[in-house]
Amino acid sequence: MRHDSLPAGHSPVSMRLLSIKYRLLILLTLILGAGFMATSLASYLASRQAIEHGIADQTLPLTGDNIYSEIQKDMLRPVFISSLMAHDTFVRDWILAGENKPEQIVRYLAEVKKKYGAITSFLVSDKSSKYYYAEGTLKSVSPQATRDVWYYRVRAMDKSDYETNVDIDMANRDSMTIFINHRVVDYDGQFIGATGIGLTLDTMSHIIDRYQARFHRNIYFVDAAGTLVLAGKTMRNGRGNIRSLPGVSAIAGQIINHRSEPTHLSYQLGRAEILVNSRFIPELGWYLVVEQNVSDEVQSLQRVFIFNLAISFGVTLLVLGLTLLTVNRYQRRIERIASTDALTGLLNRQSLELLFQRAMLLSRRNEQPMSAILFDIDFFKRVNDTHGHLWGDKVIRGVADVARATVRESDVITRWGGEEYLVLLNNCSLAQAAEVAENLRAAIEGHDFGLPAPQLPVTISLGVAEYRPEESESAFFSRADRALYQAKHHGRNGVHAA
């Protein structure tokens, strides 16, 4: 080992610092991790809640309002037309007059169809049960005919003047058509027939498809019984009742609530949360239902959440790395302060005592000799008294530098105290140690320390001792100290072996 290096292994000081360091890093990791996780999670939950509220309170109602406006624009006009037809005096008078000249009512219906762009216009007389349309007489209605149920339903209505229903149009190749069926009454309010026009379902389907494609939402209509009557492309093949559809069946009763104001609902479909906005459309007698999968909207938020966690993890690693670098730097500094002499940079006496225990065990195990050189500066007080303590410190540092350059790489030099130094020599006999000591003495004597006038000689006296098996530390160093005393007693600037 180098003589200016720290002892191998960990001293109690370094072990204590190491324990504190790891506790600090663990605590810092927990604090940073918990802080970043709490911040990211709170941000994610707040953003998710904002998205859900935005969809439930704004987006879905706005979509429903827009579709409702489109429906009103397309439906109010037909309702108004059917009302005009039902209250037209010509229609009523023609029926009351016995339905003479059918070509007159046929021509009338053809004009209505042409003028208003309907796909069909019709009149059914309650007296004759005949079904008139723009091209003539289609048939006679009958209570036994399934396709004529609508007429007898309209006939029995007492709370409304008209209804809207979806049915096949026999006058238009059995295409699905939205009919506005309006009651016709005489001047005394007695039911005398039903009239109205028909609209193609394509108009409403295009509205639904347009909004569905634009906003990626399920849009569909159900009747008062919950039957799916009209839907966009994603549910175009849907059939049946919402009371039996997965997920939505749980809130089917709340959807069919006969309320025209929007209703905000939600249900779970597997792992997905579906937000629902429903409203009753009086013009159709249907419920408009708009659904949106919140999970689709939250996916991007989840990606941001994961990205934030990744950034937080990276920042945590960076902070921990910088902290570890700083702690290691200060730990090395503290260890250096605790184990080295500040003036010379040599190991101090406490470090040597720790190192000696390892060296002693190694010497016993390998049966190798171990020696020590204890030396001090002769008449050092003269230097301080003559040139001051600053020059005295320079001499102490100079002696340490010369000693580093003179002894072996494997030897350990320590400042024993004041102007005293000790060199611990592993695998070195007494004779070899004495030779090293003589080389050191000569090097110091021949070194120019740059002292100002009057120049004082700088020499050292050295005591050498070889470690004896089973000898205690204090006994070993005491013998070296006595050898140093003998060197001084014999005139200084010399080497004495114990």
3-state secondary structure of 98: coil
Residue given tokens 């260890």 in the structure block: 335
* CA dist., res. 344 & res. 388, Å (int): 18
What's the confidence (pLDDT) of residue 390? 93
* CA dist., res. 255 & res. 280, Å (int): 9
Q: Is the pLDDT of residue 167 over 90?
A: no
What average pLDDT score do residues 332-342 get? Answer: 71
Ranking 156-160, 328-332, 335-339, 428-432 by mean pLDDT, the lowest is 335-339
Answer whether 294's CB lies under 8 Å from 274's CB.
yes
| Entry pTM | 0.46
DSSP string, 296-334: HHHHHHHHHHHHHHHHHHHHHHHHHHHHHHHHHHHHHHH
Answer whether 226's CB lies under 8 Å from 256's CB.
yes
Nearest in space to 266 (alpha carbons), one of 256, 277, 258: 277
Q: Is the pLDDT of residue 165 over 80?
A: no
What's the confidence (pLDDT) of residue 32? 77
Nearest in space to 277 (alpha carbons), one of 187, 347, 205, 215: 215
What's the confidence (pLDDT) of residue 348? 84
**φ/ψ of residue 97, rounded to 5:** -80, 0
Between CA 58 and CA 264, with CA 268 as vertex, the angle to 5 degrees is: 30
Q: Give per-residue pLDDT as tens, 95-140.
A: 999 999 999 999 999 999 999 888 889 999 999 999 999 999 989 9
What's the confidence (pLDDT) of residue 203? 66
Range 54-81 burial, b when 16+ CB lie within 10 A, else e:
ebbeebbbebbebbbebbeeebebbbeb
What's the confidence (pLDDT) of residue 9? 46
Q: Which residue has the higher pLDDT, 158 or 300?
A: 158
Q: Give per-residue pLDDT as tens, 356-411.
A: 888 888 888 888 899 999 999 999 999 999 999 999 999 999 999 999 999 988 88
Q: Is the pLDDT of residue 1 over 60?
A: no
What's the confidence (pLDDT) of residue 481? 94
Percentage of residues in the chain having pLDDT higher than 90: 36
Q: Give per-residue pLDDT as tens, 195-239.
A: 999 877 666 677 777 777 776 778 888 888 888 877 766 654 556
Answer whether 375's CB lies under 8 Å from 434's CB.
no
Q: Give per-residue pLDDT as tens, 10-61.
A: 455 455 555 666 777 788 778 877 777 788 777 767 776 766 666 666 666 6
What's the confidence (pLDDT) of residue 486? 94
* CA dist., res. 386 & res. 171, Å (int): 132
Ranking 316-325, 368-377, 395-404, 482-491 by mean pLDDT, the lowest is 316-325
As given in the structure block, the two tokens for residue 38 are 């709490």
What's the confidence (pLDDT) of residue 4? 45
Q: Given pLDDT bands bounded at 50, 70 and 90, which one contains residue 286?
A: confident
Q: E strand or H helix at 425, and its extent?
A: strand 420-426
Q: Is the pLDDT of residue 3 over 60?
A: no
Ranking 65-74, 218-227, 424-433 by mean pLDDT, the lowest is 65-74
User: Which stretches does DSSP call E strand in 134-262?
Assistant: 136-140, 162-169, 175-185, 191-200, 218-222, 228-231
Q: Give per-residue pLDDT as tens, 263-278.
A: 888 888 887 778 888 8
> What pairs with residue 15 in β-bridges?
none
